[in-house]
Amino acid sequence: MRQYIFGNPLEEFAVVEETDKIIVTSELADKCPVSNMKWEINVEDGWISFTIPLEKNDIVYGLGESMHGINKRGGKYVSYNTDNSHHSDKMHSMYGSHNFIVIDRGCDKSAQGFCFDTPARVVWDIDVDDSGEIVVVCETCDMRLYEISESSENRLLTAYDATRIFRWAIGESYIPPIWAFGFCQSRWGYKTEADVRNVVKKYQEADIPLDMVCMDIDYMDRYIDFTVNKKRFPDLKRFAGEMREEGIHLVPIIDAGVKVEPGNETYDEGVENGFFCTNMEGKPFQAAVWPGMTHFPDFFQASCRKWFGSKYKVLTDCGIDAFWNDMNEPSIFYSEYTKKTSSIKMLINFISKSAAEKYAELDNNAYKDYRHFYHYINGKRVLHHNVHNQYGARMTQAGGEGLEKLLGKGNYLLYSRSSFIGSHRYGGIWTGDNESTWDLLRTNVKHMPSLNMCGFMYSGADTGGFGGNCTRELLLRWLAFSDFTPLMRDHSCMGTRKQECYAFGDTEDFKRIINLRYRLIPYLYEQFVEAAHNGEMYMRPLGFDYPDDRTARVIEDQLMLGQGLMVTPVLEEGATKRDVYLPQDMEMIRFDGYTFTKSEAAKGWHEIEVPINEVVFFKLPNAKVMVTREASKCTRDIDMNDLMEL
């Protein structure tokens, strides 16, 4: 992998391995030395554009959490982290920005990989209008370009080879404890310990496995980070202990913004030490999020990260070892720059508007806000807009480093909404506020391999959808896919229909589907850990494993998983069958909730029946897949010394 340095970029965050470095001097500026590529540097207007030609059958993989297909051709994308819940192909920006692509040029040419490493805004046009080229405009002149190609490695690379080289260079992905592979129930709306206790009880009554329950913002005192509402959770330590006896880990949320409230410890310490982002006058910048007016910690400062990471102690002291970091794009509802009033009343009106209106405004407002506050980076004031995409990632770094100190490596779960390549070393991600639609179930499938390419292995979507009302059928099919994703969490927004497995009448079908997860956990976790250690991908497009197979190369609704499985989820409403393509002879495995039935299946197309309470997947011949003998009620009860071979 070779690195081209333009101007004065920030210290490396995405990449940790040493690479060959080429400084782009004025001579090079006019003549791009990367084969196929052209670049144009416009210092006056502050951007660099890159143009890469594509052949008709080339496939473009990558871009992590972005919309469109696994093949990114034909799409426009804007890397500019955004809190917007309308996930569709028309949405160009998501919560994370992952500027890594691999161009697969067929089996007789080498694949090429490129990482456009800048925390600034990046606009991608990947053969939109059949232009036959990729145009990437980076809105900065201070950045790094990483190139992976045949010339630097001296051999033809497959798309997977190019990805592996990148994965090695960006360092080992975060590995959570095994219980993080258990099933998690969440909803914005569990307010008290009685609510949480009730969720656990209902799962136990239905005999459905469960390992985690999330605590959304209502557990806090008026949404203030690192506080606990004493009326709702009078003794969190006792309650967390009570839950742990049942095998349950509580997962509280931590938001980026710290409420402006003198007297509150986090606020006072942040102000005293200059840990908050500042406005044009050098005073802490204020913007409204859930708690009302907040200040944003300046996670770019190492001392701020250390401080914020140490604050999790308030909760780890209660026996909590799992967290989700949220609102860290950062999401902004309004500020003095974008709204005339800053009264709390206004905020309350604002958040009770329909989600659609809220987010439409949010998008525009935040864009202006990001040009009104500053960070201190290496002693210099830097406008947030110029480093925007790394903000959430630096919060994950703060949390990850803090939790490692408090609890020890490998002993905590952490996942975040916003991300940037680099934060995959400190925690996982979930893909934000999706909706209860079949389209977004399909999106979940497409996101997984692209995220893995960029290092984000512990990831998953809000199973069943966050917004909107989920149907019984959609939840069952979604769970049947989430059975295989590292994060398996059912999460929904308040105001939507109840989405727990027991909220749809007869629970037997749900039990059967989640039982599969608890049979597979030893294999899934083993494959995950191995993939993380070896810079491999846990979930891959078929084309990565079968680069010579033209059919496999265009399949977007089946994924390879670990060394031995292929996942073939049902993704259409009303379907009881689906077509599956086998790039080689495999074993078909049918799970009915209690037993696995195996049959031989030959290379080629097959129509398979998949009743709503069954899961069908495939195993490579000779793959050793160890599973539990029966589904336990939580991961704690799995006996790793008493497994059986599938």
> Rule CB under 6 A: is residue 188 a binding residue for ligand GLC?
yes
Least CB distance to ligand GLC at residue 217 (A): 4
**How far is C-alpha 20 from the chain's CA centre?**
30
In the bound state with ligand GLC, the residue whose beta carbon lies nearer, of 445 and 493, is 493
* Residue 433 annotated to the active site: yes
In the bound state with ligand GLC, the residue whose beta carbon lies nearer, of 280 and 351, is 351
CA 556 – CA 615 distance, rounded (Å) = 19
Can you say whether residue 442 is alpha, beta or left, with left for phi > 0 and alpha for psi between -120 and 50 degrees? Answer: alpha
Least CB distance to ligand GLC at residue 246 (A): 23
In the bound state with ligand GLC, the residue whose beta carbon lies nearer, of 266 and 496, is 496
Longest dimension (CA), the chain: 72
DSSP characters over 560-577:
EETTTEEE----STT-SE
* Residue 329 annotated to the active site: yes
Least CB distance to ligand GLC at residue 460 (A): 13
Least CB distance to ligand GLC at residue 150 (A): 42
Catalytic residue among 83, 104, 193, 329: 329
Site for ligand GLC in 383-422 (CB under 6 A): 417
Query: Which residue of 217, 293, 474, 561 would you call a contact of ligand GLC, by CB under 6 A?
Result: 217
Residue 576, both tokens = 């009881």
Which value, to the nearest 10 degrees, does the dihedral of the CA atoms of residues 460, 465, 466, 469 take? -170
**22 within 8 A of 3, measured Cβ to Cβ:** yes
The strand pair at 462-463 and 459-460 is best described as unpaired
Residue 390, both tokens = 């790394």
In the bound state with ligand GLC, the residue whose beta carbon lies nearer, of 489 and 519, is 489
**Which H/E stretch holds residue 81?**
none
In the bound state with ligand GLC, the residue whose beta carbon lies nearer, of 462 and 545, is 462
**469 within 8 A of 436, measured Cβ to Cβ:** yes
Please identify which residue in the block is written with the tokens 């608890």.
Answer: 518
In the bound state with ligand GLC, the residue whose beta carbon lies nearer, of 71 and 331, is 331
Least CB distance to ligand GLC at residue 491 (A): 6
CA 251 – CA 258 distance, rounded (Å) = 19
In the bound state with ligand GLC, the residue whose beta carbon lies nearer, of 253 and 287, is 253
Question: Of 558, 562, 607, 563, which is closest to residue 583 (Cα–Cα)?
Answer: 558
In the bound state with ligand GLC, the residue whose beta carbon lies nearer, of 222 and 283, is 222
**261 within 8 A of 224, measured Cβ to Cβ:** yes
* Contact characters 26-45, ligand GLC, x per CB under 6 A: --------------------
Query: Which residue of 58, 127, 161, 216 would you call a contact of ligand GLC, by CB under 6 A?
Result: 216
Question: Of 521, 511, 510, 454, which is closest to residue 486 (Cα–Cα)?
Answer: 521
Least CB distance to ligand GLC at residue 361 (A): 15
In the bound state with ligand GLC, the residue whose beta carbon lies nearer, of 225 and 326, is 326
Identify any residues that bridge with 146 across adjacent strands, giving them in sequence order.
Answer: 3, 115
Least CB distance to ligand GLC at residue 224 (A): 13
In the bound state with ligand GLC, the residue whose beta carbon lies nearer, of 16 and 348, is 348
* Residue 89 annotated to the active site: no
Q: Helix, strand, or coil here: 144?
A: strand
Residues composing the chain: 646
Q: How many helices (H) and strands (E) does the chain have?
A: 17, 37
Least CB distance to ligand GLC at residue 95 (A): 8
Catalytic residue among 104, 326, 490, 500: 326
Query: Which residue of 432, 455, 465, 486 would you call a contact of ligand GLC, by CB under 6 A?
Result: 432
**Which H/E stretch holds residue 578?**
strand 577-582
> Rule CB under 6 A: is residue 433 a binding residue for ligand GLC?
yes
Site for ligand GLC in 248-267 (CB under 6 A): 253
Site for ligand GLC in 455-494 (CB under 6 A): 491
Radius of gyration of the chain (CA): 24
Residue type, 462: D
Eight-state DSSP code of residue 25 = -
**118 within 8 A of 9, measured Cβ to Cβ:** yes
Residue 578, both tokens = 């689906």
| Nearest residue (beta carbon) to ligand GLC | 188
CA 478 – CA 472 distance, rounded (Å) = 10
Least CB distance to ligand GLC at residue 81 (A): 13
Least CB distance to ligand GLC at residue 407 (A): 23
Site for ligand GLC in 304-333 (CB under 6 A): 326
Catalytic residue among 139, 147, 216, 433: 433
CA 235 – CA 107 distance, rounded (Å) = 61
> Rule CB under 6 A: is residue 359 a binding residue for ligand GLC?
no
Which value, to the nearest 10 degrees, does the dihedral of the CA atoms of residues 415, 421, 422, 423 take? -10
How many residues of this chain interact with ligand GLC, rule: CB under 6 A?
Answer: 9
Residues that bind ligand GLC (CB under 6 A): 188, 216-217, 253, 326, 417, 432-433, 491
Catalytic residue positions, numbered: 326, 329, 433
